[in-house]
Amino acid sequence: MAKPRIVLGRLCISLGKFIESLAVAVMKTDDLVEFSKQTYAAQLAGWNRPTIVEQGLEVGERELFEHIPLKSGHILVLFVGTGREAIVFAKKGFQVTGVDFIPEMIEMAKANARERGVTIEGLVQEISELDVTLESFDLAWISNFMYSSIPTKNKRINTLKKIREALKPEGYFVCRFLMQKTGGFFYGQRKWFDGL
């Protein structure tokens, strides 16, 4: 039988998680977006550590990318952060456009790419309001569970519509998302989103 203090400690931790989740319940959608901006902006130094930037694609990301039959083209990296994935794609010869809603992230991603001998374009935009040239990308890429951080079902659906519009007719979409506490990858061609 567990000691009462241990039981009380676990209860306090659970209660803390519940109270933390209430923040989402009291904020409106635009508040959640602003909250996310502030949260990620406060962590800029951590995201820009060379060990993070130079990590490249994770094993699952690398395996997935190898299954996509693209050898050249234009890649749209959504939630580009400080350039971890974008730099890998640029080094492979792809034209890369990174999008993030934090201007400093875009600047860091571009600077990190330059330091590593490649160039990426950067756009400061909120992903669910993506504004890029229609049908101009061969691949749209979201990894590290960032899709799951888009607040509200409506914003997530709008994001998928915008991504579909950005892809060329035979373009691909890669998304990593949270799924029952384990990571899941999804990839498919634009035509799979025709019902949106």
Contact 189, 158 (CB under 8 A): no
* Residues 5-55 pLDDT 10s: 777 778 778 877 767 666 666 767 777 667 776 777 677 677 778 888 888
* Residues 75-130 pLDDT 10s: 999 989 999 999 999 999 999 999 998 999 999 999 999 999 999 999 999 888 88
DSSP E strands in the chain: the ranges are 74-78, 95-100, 121-124, 137-142, 167-179, 182-189
Helix 103-115, helix 29-41: angle, nearest 10: 40
Q: Is the pTM of this model over 0.75?
A: yes
Residue 5: both structure tokens together: 């203090």
Contact 178, 145 (CB under 8 A): yes
